[in-house]
A = this chain, B = another copy of it.
C-alpha cells in the first residue's frame, strides 16, 4: 500500500479525536467480538448492547416462563405506549401519549398514510419525492391507485434533497398528504423538517415524516414543529435488532381524526370485550392492530435508555464530528482515486451517514466485508459509511477509510 502524504496529516489522526470524545466510553456498552474490524453500517443494523445479551434470558425465564400469561396484565399491555413515550422523549421531542411501538415500518407507514387520508377526505392529491425509500414510494403509489388519488412526485436533486421551493411549487388546496424522509437513505441529506412541515400546513395538507434514518442520531422537536405523523425504525440507531418493530408518532390533536384500516382487537376501545363491532380506542392504541411484539421490543428498551443517558444533543454533536471526519478522510485518501462525495458538506444538511461513490464500489464492498470492514453498498455505485454515534469510534472510521482505499487501489490496479 502506498502511504500518501495526506495520511500523515495530523488533522486526519483519529487518536486525539477519540481522546477528546465525551461519549467515547459508551462504546464499551456494545457487543464487540468476532472478526469485525470496523463497523460502518449502524444505519442499517445497529450493534446489540451487552445489556441486551444479559436481559433476554431472564426475560424468557421469568417474565415469559414464570409469570406466563399474567405478564400481559402486569407489564406487557402497557409496553407499546411506555416504550413509545420513551422514544418520543429521548429522540423525537414528543410529549407522552403520542408515540407507540408495533408492526414493521412498512405496516405502520401504510396504516398512517391511509389514516391521514381519512382526515382529508375532499382532497385528491398526495406528494412524494422520487428519492424516498422504495417502501414509502411503493406504499403511496399503491394507496393512490386504490383510492383514485393523483401522485405529485418531486424530482430530487440528490445532492440537495427536497427544497422548500420544490414543495411550495407542488402543494395546493387539493393536497391531502405529503410524505417525506427526514434523512435521505441514500445521500444522507437532512431535510428542513420544521420549514417543510409549515409549507404543507399552509396548504392545509398533512405531513408524514419517515424518520428511519434520523431517530436516535438527529434531534427533532416534533411537538414544537407541529409535525402531524412520524414513523421510524428501531433497528438502525435504536439498536433493536434485525426486524425490530417500528414506532409511530401522531400529534395529539390529530389522533381522534385518524382511522386506520387494519382493525384488530388490540386497536379496539375495549380489547377484551370481544365486541360485535369495531370501535377504535382513544389515543394511540387505535393505531395498533395485532398483539404487540413484546419479545422483539426488549432490545429497543435498552438502547432508548442509553440514548436518554447520553442525550440526543451530545449524540448529534458526535455524529457531526464523525461525518466531518469521514469527509475529511474521503477528500484526502479517496478523492485522489476518483471517489466522489454524494452527501451534503454542510453539516446542517446532513444526517449521520456519508455516501461516497465510485464505479467499483460493489466489488470493493464485497472485499471489505471479507476482511471485517463493513460499510453498506447501495446500487449502482454508492458506499454508505453509517456512523452510529454511541458505538463508533473515530479510529474505526479511519481504519475503514484506509481499507476502502486499499481495496479500491487493488480493484483499479487489476
A291/B243 in contact, CB under 8 A: yes
| Distance to closest chain B CB from A73 (angstroms) | 9
Copies in the assembly, this chain: 2
Bound: A233/B146 CA distance, A: 29
| Distance to closest chain B CB from A50 (angstroms) | 9
| Distance to closest chain B CB from A319 (angstroms) | 19
A277/B141 in contact, CB under 8 A: yes
Bound: A106/B278 CA distance, A: 14
A379/B294 in contact, CB under 8 A: no
Please, what's the 1-or-0 string for A257-285, where 1 marks a CB less than 8 Å from any CB in chain B? 00001111110100011111110000000
A33-80: which residues lie under 8 A (CB-CB) from chain B?
33-36, 39, 41, 44-45, 47-48, 52-54, 56-57, 60-62, 64-72, 76
A133 at the interface (CB under 8 A from B): yes
B57/A53 in contact, CB under 8 A: yes
A268/B138 in contact, CB under 8 A: yes
B242/A291 in contact, CB under 8 A: yes
Instruction: Please give, as numbers and ranges, the residues of chain B lying within 8 Å of A274 by CB-CB distance.
Output: 133-134, 378-379
B45/A69 in contact, CB under 8 A: yes
| Distance to closest chain B CB from A300 (angstroms) | 10
Contact of A278 among B33, B142, B233, B241 (CB under 8 A): B142
Instruction: Please give, as numbers and ranges, the residues of chain B lying within 8 Å of A247 by CB-CB distance.
Output: none
Contact of A244 among B57, B106, B246, B295 (CB under 8 A): B295
Instruction: Please give, as numbers and ranges, the residues of chain B lying within 8 Å of A110 by CB-CB distance.
Output: 261-262, 264, 289
Instruction: Please give, as numbers and ranges, the residues of chain B lying within 8 Å of A379 by CB-CB distance.
Output: 272-274
A228 at the interface (CB under 8 A from B): no
- Given A138-B264, A142-B261; 9 other pairs, CB 8 A cutoff: A31-B60, A33-B61, A39-B68, A45-B64, A45-B68, A64-B242, A70-B369, A135-B263, A137-B276
Q: Could you list which residues of chain A lie within 8 angstroms of chain B, going by C-beta atoms?
A: 30-36, 39, 41, 44-45, 47-48, 52-54, 56-57, 60-62, 64-72, 76, 102-107, 110, 130, 133-135, 137-139, 141-143, 146, 233, 235, 241-246, 261-266, 268, 272-278, 289-297, 299, 369, 374, 376, 378-379
Q: Which 4 A-B pairs have the closest CB atoms?
A: A104-B290, A34-B66, A106-B264, A106-B290
